[in-house]
Amino acid sequence: MENQTLESLGEFGLIDRISESFQNISSATIKGIGDDAAVIDAGSKYQLISTDMLLEGVHFDLVYTPLKHLGYKAIAVNISDIAAMNGVPLHATVSIGISNRFGLSDIDELYEGIKLACEDYNIDLIGGDTSSSRSGLVISITVVGEVAKDKITYRSGASENDIVCVTGDLGAAYLGLQILEREKQEFLANPAMKPQIDNKSYVVGRQLKPESRTDIVFDLLEKGIVPTSMIDISDGLASDILHLAKNSGKGFTVFFENIPIDNQTLETCAEFNLNPVTSVINGGEDYELLMTISQADYEKVKDIPEITPIGFVNNDGTSWLILNSGERTKLIAPGWKNV
């Protein structure tokens, strides 16, 4: 529709609209728009390329986000996209837009976090760009990785009766954000106040300094498991389940009681009077891996303690969440609605 707005189209509709306008020309382009990373034929292996942009006031708030943490997070969340393709990161470029309210020490602090992330994930910073900005801080990261051609995992590929699994635990990053936003409001009302976050270090840490699950990629390789589909959980479990379901042409059935949730996450839900189901399903920014594996690999995956089965792939084309009460509710992805 010609009068359709960006707000009504939404994030995922916009991505579809853009991708429909482009066709791959190079024979080396195996996968372009539409997965966690682009896939390029590099001879004996596939090259993986992922880019993300972080905007001040949209993706981060410098009132409670230390620049060192921000630099680390910017690299880690891009590496997560490489892990979601079952790949290993190798190189990164960093481009930043800086307004005149930032000093040299601020930039040093940001790049200190970037350097720490590069060291932790054993990747090289190989370039980038700098520019002035009229709207605060802008960070754009590109990470390049690789994967063996017989180990590549896409968002598509899930089959009926495959087992749906997640790594780590979910919902903590969203609850960490709620705490930081509360502390911000209290600080603005009383700048002399001291943050009350000592007993919430886990959930706050999951928001400020997320970790990419590259360790799981090596665990899967060691066990000889290649997931049938995979994605990193950045938009929230519901949204990312629906990405896999749409790309695979299947439906997913997930049991809430099986989803791993840290006790501090549940305690914080109660403190904020938030529904744990909504917080965990739609929270986002966990950067854990959501995957499907074949029934034949179930015994192998049980030996990886950081992977939890939470459901199965169905063939009715609809994705469902089974609540603890036994009630079945249809999964809906909120996504963003404006920019």
Domains of the chain from N-terminus onward: 6-148 (3.30.1330.10), 163-330 (3.90.650.10)
Q: CA angle 85-222-93, nearest 5°?
A: 35
pLDDT at residue 1, as a whole number: 46
Per residue in 41-89, pLDDT tens? 999 999 999 999 999 999 999 999 999 999 999 999 999 999 999 999 9
**Dihedral sign for Cα atoms in the order 53, 154, 278, 197:** negative
The pLDDT score that the predictor gives to residue 338 is 39
What does pLDDT average to over the chain?
Answer: 92
| Identity at 126, one-letter amino acid code | I
Taking only the tens place, the pLDDT of each residue in 265-317 is 999 999 999 999 999 999 999 999 999 999 999 999 999 999 999 999 998 88
182 CB contacts (<8 Å, ≥6 apart)?
272
pLDDT band at 339 (very low <50, low <70, confident <90, very high): very low
| pLDDT for position 11 | 67
Residue 337: band (very low, low, confident or very high) from pLDDT cuts 50, 70, 90: very low
State both tokens at 282: 């739609």
What percent of the chain clears pLDDT 70, i.e. is strictly above it?
94
What residues does 132 pair with on adjacent strands? 98
If you average pLDDT over residues 92-96, what whole number do you get? 98
pLDDT value of position 335: 53
Using DSSP's 3-state secondary structure scheme, residue 238 falls into: helix
3 pLDDT tier (thresholds 50, 70, 90): low
For residue 65 the two structure tokens come to 């986000």
Structure tokens at 110: 């940001």
Higher pLDDT pick, 134 / 213:
213
Per-residue pLDDT at 7: 72
Supply the pLDDT for residue 2. Answer: 56
Neighbours of 196 (CB within 10 A): 11
Query: Is pLDDT above 50 for 173?
Result: yes
Section 173-182 average pLDDT? 95
The sheet that has 289-293: what strands, in order across it?
229-232, 289-293, 163-167, 307-314, 251-255, 320-322, 328-330
SS3 29: strand
